[in-house]
Amino acid sequence: MIRTITNRFSWKFGRCLTQTCSITSDTSHCQNATALKVNQPTELKESELKEITNPLRFPDYFGVRNLFRLKDLFDAKVHYGHKDGTLHPNMKPYIFGSRLGHIIFDLDKTTELLQDALNFTAHIAYKGGIILFVSHYPQHTLTVENAAKEAGEYAHAREWDFHLLTNSEKIYKGVTRLPDLIIMVSTLNPQMQEHTAVRDAAKMCIPTIGIVDSNSNPNLITYPVPGNDDSPTAVQLYCNLFRDAILLGKSKKSEIPSS
Amino acid sequence: MAALREVLIFNSKCFRGVRSYFCSSPAFQYSSLSPNNASSNVQKLDFEESDTKRISKAMKSYMERAKIHDNFIKEQLHQYNIGKRHLANMMGKDPEFFTQHDVNEAIRYLFPSGLYDPRARPMMKHPDEIYPKRKAAEFDMNGRPFHSLFYTSKPNYYNLLHDLAVKFKQLDNHEDKMIYRGIQDQQASELFLFGTDWVSKESVESVLLESLTDSQYSNLIKTMERFAQHRYAVREKNFIMQFRHQLAAQTEIQKIPELMRDESNRPFTTFSARRKRSNATVKVIGEGTGLISINGEDILYFKRKQDKEQIIFPLEFCNMLGKVDVVATCEGVGMSGRVGSIRLAIAMCLRCFVDAETIERMRLAGLLSYDPRERERKKPGQPGAREKFTWKKR
């Protein structure tokens, strides 16, 4: 199965890079992916040593696909959406149906998208990028901040000051390096409107990963992950997964110079 | 600060081998469609640029600002030292051993000022004392912030809220454990908050080195209040007390004089108090039988029932009726003034005989505060202080 992954990296100063790489992989079977990972270095023996250490050549260099199974998502109540009437039209491709008036997500699609998102996160962490966890859900503040602390990354789970990204020089009192990836644990603010960070990150060309519930708009999110963003169990699962993906990326980074 | 910067510069030397990922790099301008080319570009970044020293723009800009500030402070220090030498020469002292105390004395002598506010008077202080401390660089050479909540723009404030939430959870867990074990007899203790209040916004700001909005401050106080009302909040007493300060009235009352001993080795204490135009001196003697003597007479010195009750009230309030003797002398105009002054003096004396909790109860009952009410003067054009002549239409 040939899949095409398009990663858009972009920077503050308008420098954009579009990498398109075709990778041969079978996403549905983790065993095959790992087998590929083992096989590929032998094919590349002839090429330069540098080539081997290039993680972009592997479909799942960091092994993020093994972090979770579909059953884990189901147990964490990821498949529950909001009520029928609140469904956002752009979320239609990701839903399985509705049960007793509530949207149910298609967890097969969620799994695939979440794996992509985790893979991207691990790559960013591997390259030493700054990852910012964003949420504006008072109940989940502690969970999100703890995950960021454990991963050695950054969190903003409080009230979002307008122009935090677009006028950063004023807000942080000096030139500041902005995050390289924003993980939105919930893309809505408590007023049930789209979080300002989604729009501002798009303006500043910062890639975003967003957990999008059935009532949120995935349009401006680089890596949307359809799923329940309200239940504590689900949020805990997302936080743990992204934390683990970051730690995997970082551990690979620390391995490379020694080898 | 200078030491810190040295460490940072040292770090920059250490980091020389590490490629900083998001610095401007020409290789990223190419976009390639084939994976091989893309990978080779990335490799170029990883290995070829590792030799050149790279500092993020954020760090560069910080270093420029810090350099300007350092030069400014250096200049101020230079001027301070020159000024100090001048003062020493004027005062005829050795400039080498001229301390800050000597500087203050010299300024007071040479530039006498009648200005009331001490901060408005002329002064000469070390630049470190005058110019506020600045936050050190909050990020490393690659521009990566040190604090995980840096992007909230008020990391110290939000970290405090985060710590509070963590502690809250710990207390909840502890409570669960206690309930599970069947231990529920521990009383909710809020007593240690008596006589103190939450610290002001300014002092919170000076500790956190961040300016807070009013709503942020009130949020913090609300959270602290909820935290302090937790059943097991006593476990975090030290943490909570960092954010409380003694009330001024309370500190005044807490200065309790020592008990003295008379010839027959009975404990006693005295106090003089005023009310209206009277003043009274009261001696309260412990290990007594409840004798009350006022200007040589007993309590019948006061004829009115209300006056007698006034004398008895503080003794009754502290449960000391019949346990102490009271010897009072009072003088002045009017019975209620006299009795008021005696009441205050007795209450003040009784502080020495009771525990801190009762003192606090006395304070809340108003027994320990001076009654400032006085007779209001008569005004011209009217028969009394407030009373007016009857209005008559010409």
Q: Kindly state whether residue A7 falls inside one of the protein's structural domains.
A: no
Residue range B86-134, pLDDT digits in tens = 999 999 999 889 999 999 999 999 999 889 888 899 989 988 888 877 7
The closest alpha carbon to B357, from B300, B302, B318, B307, belongs to B318
Does residue B150 belong to the interface with chain A, where contact is any CB pair within 8 Å?
yes
| Mean pLDDT of each 10-residue bin along chain A, 259 residues long | 36 34 38 44 52 75 89 93 92 93 94 94 91 93 94 92 88 86 92 92 94 93 93 95 93 70
Nearest residue on chain A to B137, judged by CA atoms? Answer: A174
Q: What is the CATH number of the domain that holds A78?
A: 3.40.50.10490
Q: Which residues partner with A133 through β-bridges?
A: A155, A183
- Domain B258-365, second-level architecture: 2-Layer Sandwich (3.30)
Q: Kindly state whether residue A129 falls inside one of the protein's structural domains.
A: yes
Long-range contacts of the stretch B305-312 (C-beta < 8 A, 24+): B307/B335, B307/B336, B307/B339, B310/B339, B310/B340, B310/B342, B310/B343, B311/B339, B311/B342, B311/B343, B311/B346
CB contact under 8 A, A177 and B62: no
pLDDT of residue A2: 36
* Alpha helices in chain B, H assignment, sequence order: 2-14, 35-48, 57-91, 100-110, 127-130, 155-181, 201-208, 214-228, 237-241, 248-254, 305-317, 335-350, 356-365
Give the distance from CA A14 to its chain's centroid. 22
Q: Kindly state whether residue A158 falls inside one of the protein's structural domains.
A: yes
Nearest residue on chain A to B140, judged by CA atoms? Answer: A177
Greater model confidence, A242 or B44: A242
Structure tokens, A1: 């199965």
Which residue among B31, B42, B148 sits closest to A153, beta carbon to beta carbon? B148
The tally of domains found in chain A comes to 1
Structure tokens, A25: 């992989």
**Residue numbers of B between 63 and 102 with CB closer than 8 Å to A:** 65
Mean residue pLDDT across chain B = 80
3-class state of residue B296 by DSSP: coil
Which bin fits A5, alpha (ψ -120 to 50), beta or left (φ > 0)? beta
**What interface predicted TM-score (ipTM) does this complex get?**
0.78
Contact B157, B208 (CB under 8 A): yes
CB contact under 8 A, B35 and A56: yes
Does residue B195 belong to the interface with chain A, where contact is any CB pair within 8 Å?
no
Which residue among B31, B142, B153 sits closest to A18, beta carbon to beta carbon? B31
pLDDT of residue B245: 83
B contact test, residue of A8, A13, A17, A165 with most B CBs within 10 A: A17
Which residue among B20, B62, B152 sits closest to A156, beta carbon to beta carbon? B152
Residue range B296-349, pLDDT digits in tens = 888 889 899 999 999 999 999 988 888 889 999 999 988 999 999 999 999 999
Which residue among B24, B35, B165 sits closest to A57, beta carbon to beta carbon? B35
Q: Kindly state whether residue A153 falls inside one of the protein's structural domains.
A: yes
Residue A150 burial (C-beta neighbours within 10 Å; 0-12, 13-18, 19+): middle
CA angle B175, A233, A212 (to 5 degrees): 140
CB contact under 8 A, B42 and A54: yes
CB contact under 8 A, A175 and B166: no
Q: What residue type is B29 in one-letter code?
A: Q
Residues of chain A in contact with residue B24, where contact means CB-CB under 8 angstroms, are 13, 15
3-class state of residue B369 by DSSP: coil
Nearest residue on chain B to A254, judged by CA atoms? Answer: B18
- For the segment B215-224, the average pLDDT, to the nearest whole number, is 93
CB contact under 8 A, B151 and A179: yes
- Global pTM reads 0.63
pLDDT of residue B316: 92
The closest alpha carbon to A228, from A196, A172, A186, A259, belongs to A186
Greater model confidence, B264 or A209: A209
| Domain extents in chain B | 1-20+55-146, 155-246, 258-365
Q: Which residues partner with B279 through β-bridges?
A: B274, B331
Q: Kindly state whether residue A195 falls inside one of the protein's structural domains.
A: yes
**CA atoms of B18 and B286, how far apart (whole Å):** 79
The closest alpha carbon to B58, from A179, A127, A152, belongs to A179
Does residue B33 belong to the interface with chain A, where contact is any CB pair within 8 Å?
yes
pLDDT of residue B80: 93
Distances (CA, A) of B71 to A42, B117, B126, B156, B276: 59, 32, 15, 28, 63
Which residue among B28, B38, B62 sits closest to A174, beta carbon to beta carbon? B62
The H-or-E segment that residue A243 falls in is helix A232-258
- In the block, tokens 């997302």 appear at A238
Q: Kindly state whether residue A155 falls inside one of the protein's structural domains.
A: yes
Q: What is the 3-state secondary structure (H, E, C) of A80-101?
A: EEEEHHHCCHHHHHHEEEEECC
* Domain span holding position A102: 67-258
Nearest residue on chain A to B168, judged by CA atoms? Answer: A142
Q: Kindly state whether residue A186 falls inside one of the protein's structural domains.
A: yes
- For the segment B245-258, the average pLDDT, to the nearest whole number, is 70
Long-range contacts of the stretch B343-346 (C-beta < 8 A, 24+): B343/B275, B343/B310, B343/B311, B343/B313, B343/B314, B343/B367, B344/B273, B344/B274, B344/B275, B344/B368, B344/B370, B344/B371, B345/B271, B345/B272, B345/B273, B345/B280, B345/B281, B345/B282, B346/B282, B346/B284, B346/B311, B346/B314, B346/B315
**CA atoms of B8 and B3, how far apart (whole Å):** 9
3-class state of residue B17 by DSSP: helix
CB contact under 8 A, B148 and A145: yes
Contact A195, A189 (CB under 8 A): yes
Dihedral sign, Cα of residue B4, residue B8, residue B13, residue B14:
positive
Q: What residue type is A82 in one-letter code?
A: H
Q: Kindly state whether residue A240 falls inside one of the protein's structural domains.
A: yes
Residue B31 has pLDDT above 60, yes or no: no
**CA atoms of B165 and B220, how far apart (whole Å):** 11
Residue B49 has pLDDT above 60, yes or no: no
Distances (CA, A) of A232 to A87, A141, B29: 21, 11, 42
3-class state of residue A131 by DSSP: strand
Does residue B173 belong to the interface with chain A, where contact is any CB pair within 8 Å?
no
CB contact under 8 A, A175 and B153: no
Does residue B213 belong to the interface with chain A, where contact is any CB pair within 8 Å?
no
Nearest residue on chain B to A148, judged by CA atoms? Answer: B148
Residue range B338-348, pLDDT digits in tens = 999 999 999 99
Residues of A with CB under 8 A from a CB of B: 9, 11, 13, 15-23, 50-51, 54, 56-57, 127-130, 132, 141-142, 145, 148-149, 152-156, 158, 161, 164, 171-172, 174-177, 179-180
Banded model confidence at residue B359, pLDDT cuts 50, 70, 90: confident
Other residues' Cβ atoms within 10 Å of the Cβ of residue B257? 12
Nearest residue on chain B to A53, judged by CA atoms? Answer: B43
- Closest approach of B169 to chain A, Cα-based (Å): 10
Distances (CA, A) of B102 to B17, B67, B175: 52, 32, 58
Length of chain B: 394
- For the segment B154-182, the average pLDDT, to the nearest whole number, is 92
The closest alpha carbon to A154, from A175, A174, A176, belongs to A176
Dihedral sign, Cα of residue B304, residue B305, residue B308, residue B309:
negative
**CA atoms of B286 and B263, how far apart (whole Å):** 13
Q: Which residues partner with B261 through β-bridges?
A: B267
CA angle B101, B106, B109 (to 5 degrees): 130
Q: Which residues partner with B260 through β-bridges?
A: B268
Residue B71 has pLDDT above 70, yes or no: yes
Which residue among A128, A153, A175 sits closest to B58, beta carbon to beta carbon? A175
